[in-house]
Amino acid sequence: MGDTRTRTPARRARTRKARPEPETLVAYYRQMLLIRRFEERAARAYTEAKIGGYCHLNLGEEATVTGLMAALEPRDYLFTNYREHGYALARGIDARRVMAELYGRSTGVSKGWGGSMHMFDLEARLLGGYGIVGGQLPLATGAALAVSYKGGDEVVMCQMGDGTTNIGAFHESLNMAALWDLPIVFVVVNNGLGMGTTVEASSAEPELYRRASAYRMESARVDGTDAVAVREAAREAVERARSESKPFLLETTSPRLRGHSVVDPARYRTAEDKEALKAADPLAHFALELEEAGVLDAETREKLDAEVKAEVDDAAAFADDSPYPDVSTLFDYTYATPVRGESRRLPADPVF
């Protein structure tokens, strides 16, 4: 006889609860401001050829990043896609180490070998940014299985972009998480575009949170430009995963302000689109909201601006002054443990 569980419908996130304390709101604003200024500096460094390879920025997604990370405990695990700088900062990793990684320096988060897309910090429980679309989902699901197997109370959060919901790993991972009751929260950051293709043009169900219903999984959609609303929705999902060991799919709607990467001119956007994005800037909206509520005055805002600018300038100077990794360390982290007969031959080395 088949499973007779009641199908759980997808839904929108509940109306948020009481506002946090003023100090917490100001801290959220500072976090968003740090991410904004850091990413702007990263874009500048890319044009100066100090950052190479691919580089994807969280510009416009600061509220989503801040709200999601505020919902996690230090013991929880985080897997992200390649748009990860803001998550590393919000997870408490020093801005110096994040910038140094972008510069490919040995003082970076991944000792200069990971770059923009592959940051890893076990202490912060950031278990990687992943360059392959959806590459993080099976690994995050496996981590949640390990937590469940060991009887732990940690939760795994797995962040992805909207384009990831169309690949097989998304469906396979959600299916297994639902079958095995795993403590994982899948988060789709829906910025409306899979590179340059709109969600409506690529997904038969553009309200992506509804896809969870195929796996009888709880889900919700939340305004990703509101850090507090994101925090409340994410907290509900995280606590459900922790207390009931049930997976959850959370969708945040959070348009990015720039192109897919720093080299994308975003010509697929009309002039009207660009104006609408500027008008919906989450950082400006949050600052105005806090000012109108009497939480943030002009003097405090100027002080925070100066603090953050100094922190980002210091991070850039630190990265500039840091050494590149020695070529002899190229293979140091290929395997977790020593492997007999492992080849460490460089391209210019003789075969024998």
Query: 22-315: which CATH number, 3.90.1150.10, 3.40.50.970, 2.60.40.10, 3.40.50.2030?
Result: 3.40.50.970
Phi (first) and psi of residue 159, to 5 degrees: -95, 145
Handedness of CA 179, 208, 126, 14 (dihedral sign): negative
Q: Token pair 């569980």 is at which residue?
A: 5
Confidence of residue 119 (pLDDT cuts 50, 70, 90): very high
Contacts of 45 (CB under 8 A, 6+ apart): 51, 99, 102, 103, 316
pLDDT tens per residue, range 72-110:
999 999 999 999 999 999 999 999 999 999 999 999 999
Structure tokens that stand for 265 in this block: 């001119």
Tell me: the pLDDT tens digits for 122-142?
999 999 999 999 999 999 999
The whole-model pTM stands at: 0.92
E-state strands within the chain = 77-81, 126-130, 156-161, 184-190, 193-194, 197-198, 218-223, 248-253
User: For position 12, what pLDDT does the model report?
Assistant: 56
Higher-pLDDT residue of 11 and 253 is 253
Instruction: Tell me what the mean pLDDT of segment 158-162 comes to.
Output: 97
Query: What residues does each domain of the chain span?
Result: 22-315
* Cross-strand pairs, 249: 186, 219
Residues 329, 325: Cα–Cα separation, whole Å: 7
Neighbours of 118 (CB within 10 A): 17
The C-alpha atoms of residue 88 and residue 98 are separated, in whole angstroms, by 7
